[in-house]
């Protein structure tokens, strides 16, 4: 979820959103806000392991009772049309370790489309489980599930989380499946078919070295393949670039610049700038409280 919403090359029809859809979205937003307030009231103590990556989760979970709040910001810029402004995405996260092997989190997701204003788009619930039976395997895999709901779409995102620590080095890799189920028939693909559901397969990975107390520097990337209506591949992309993090006291900032390295179908050199941006910049500010 690191977390990116499904991106595709289809075009949204110009019809206005129905009053029923607006009402459903408004009710969903009120529910997500109420849940966020409730999660913030959970008892909290310091989280021990800072995050060195912005795309990939480590399978390391905190001890029961540990909590963290975080703000995520992503800028997606440089499309085929040079006059198109950047898309901005934001997330507010509240995470709590329910037990030593189970962690839950709530996200509020904000989006500012290129020709719109910033607003609440959806809410997400996350659950990470690290079964004792998997702890003996290399990388200590954990199981991840994120459910995202808004007025127009239900999204399910299961992941397998892997991670390794060796001295000052840390590595992580996530295997991701992204399922989207549409609630309306407003969005259409380039061939005119209605977009009813979609699937994407994704792999993210990162390698970083910790530099003294609180700092880390490394590389991170992701590869994604998209399949509208569970059909053939419609688009694919690879992003990769540097990632750096710095912790001061109870706060930590992690930031990555991820240029598009390859895309399909190719529209500008080796890249696909119709379905994806040329560069993604993501920052995560977390606070232990």
List pLDDT tens digits, range 238-256.
Answer: 999 999 999 998 899 999 9
The average confidence (pLDDT) of the chain is: 84
CB 242 within 8 A of CB 261: no
**pLDDT of res. 30:** 53
Query: For a pLDDT cut of 70, what percent of the chain falls above it?
Result: 83
Measured CA to CA in angstroms, residue 76 lies from 118, 130, 154, 237 at distances of: 14, 32, 23, 14
Would you say residue 271 has pLDDT above 90?
A: yes
**pLDDT of res. 51:** 83
Tokens of 110: 């904000």
Distance between first and last Cα of the chain: 23
Would you say residue 209 has pLDDT above 50?
A: yes
| Helical H segments across the chain, by residue range | 19-40
Calpha distance 95→77 (Å, rounded): 29
Would you say residue 114 has pLDDT above 80?
A: yes
Average pLDDT over residues 145-157: 92
CB 202 within 8 A of CB 224: yes
Lowest pLDDT segment from 41-55, 82-96, 115-129, 212-226: 41-55
CATH architecture of 52-287: Beta Barrel (2.40)
Q: Is-cis flag, bond preceding 265, omega within 30?
A: yes
**pLDDT of res. 207:** 98
Maximum average pLDDT range among 45-54, 126-135, 273-282: 273-282
Calpha distance 265→274 (Å, rounded): 9
Would you say residue 152 has pLDDT above 90?
A: no
Query: For a pLDDT cut of 90, what percent of the chain falls above it?
Result: 65
How confident is the model over 23-64, as pLDDT tens digits?
444 554 555 544 444 433 433 333 345 689 999 999 998 889
Average pLDDT over residues 209-220: 92
Would you say residue 186 has pLDDT above 90?
A: no
Would you say residue 289 has pLDDT above 80?
A: no
Tokens of 53: 């990556």
**pLDDT of res. 264:** 97
Indicate the helix (H) or strand (E) that contains 77. strand 67-77
Average pLDDT over residues 127-144: 86
């Amino acid at each position: 979820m690191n977390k990116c919403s499904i991106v595709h090359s289809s075009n949204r029809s110009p019809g206005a959103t129905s009053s029923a859809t607006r009402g459903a979205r408004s009710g969903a937003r009120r529910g997500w806000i109420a849940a966020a307030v409730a999660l913030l009231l959970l008892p909290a103590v310091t989280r021990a392991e800072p995050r060195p990556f912005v795309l990939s989760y480590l399978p390391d979970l905190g001890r029961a009772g540990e909590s963290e709040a975080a703000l995520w910001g992503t800028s997606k810029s440089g499309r085929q049309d040079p006059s198109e402004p950047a898309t901005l995405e934001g997330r507010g996260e509240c995470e709590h370790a329910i037990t030593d092997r189970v962690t839950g989190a709530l996200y509020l997701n904000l989006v500012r489309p290129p020709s719109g204003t910033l607003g609440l788009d959806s809410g997400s619930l996350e659950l990470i489980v690290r079964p004792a039976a998997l702890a003996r395997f290399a990388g200590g895999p954990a199981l991840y599930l994120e459910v995202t709901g808004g007025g127009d779409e239900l999204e399910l995102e299961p992941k397998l989380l892997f991670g390794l620590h060796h001295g000052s080095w840390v590595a992580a890799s996530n295997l991701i499946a992204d399922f989207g189920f549409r609630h309306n028939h407003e969005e259409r693909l380039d061939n005119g078919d209605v977009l009813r559901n979609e699937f994407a397969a994704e792999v993210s990975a990162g390698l970083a070295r910790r530099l003294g107390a609180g700092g880390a520097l490394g590389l991170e990337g992701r590869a994604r393949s998209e399949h509208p209506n569970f059909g053939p591949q419609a688009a694919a992309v690879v992003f990769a670039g540097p990632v750096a993090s710095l912790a001061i006291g109870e706060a930590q900032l992690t930031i990555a610049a991820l240029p598009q390295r390859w895309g399909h179908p190719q529209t500008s050199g080796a890249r696909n700038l119709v379905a994806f941006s040329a560069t993604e910049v993501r920052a995560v500010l977390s606070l232990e409280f």
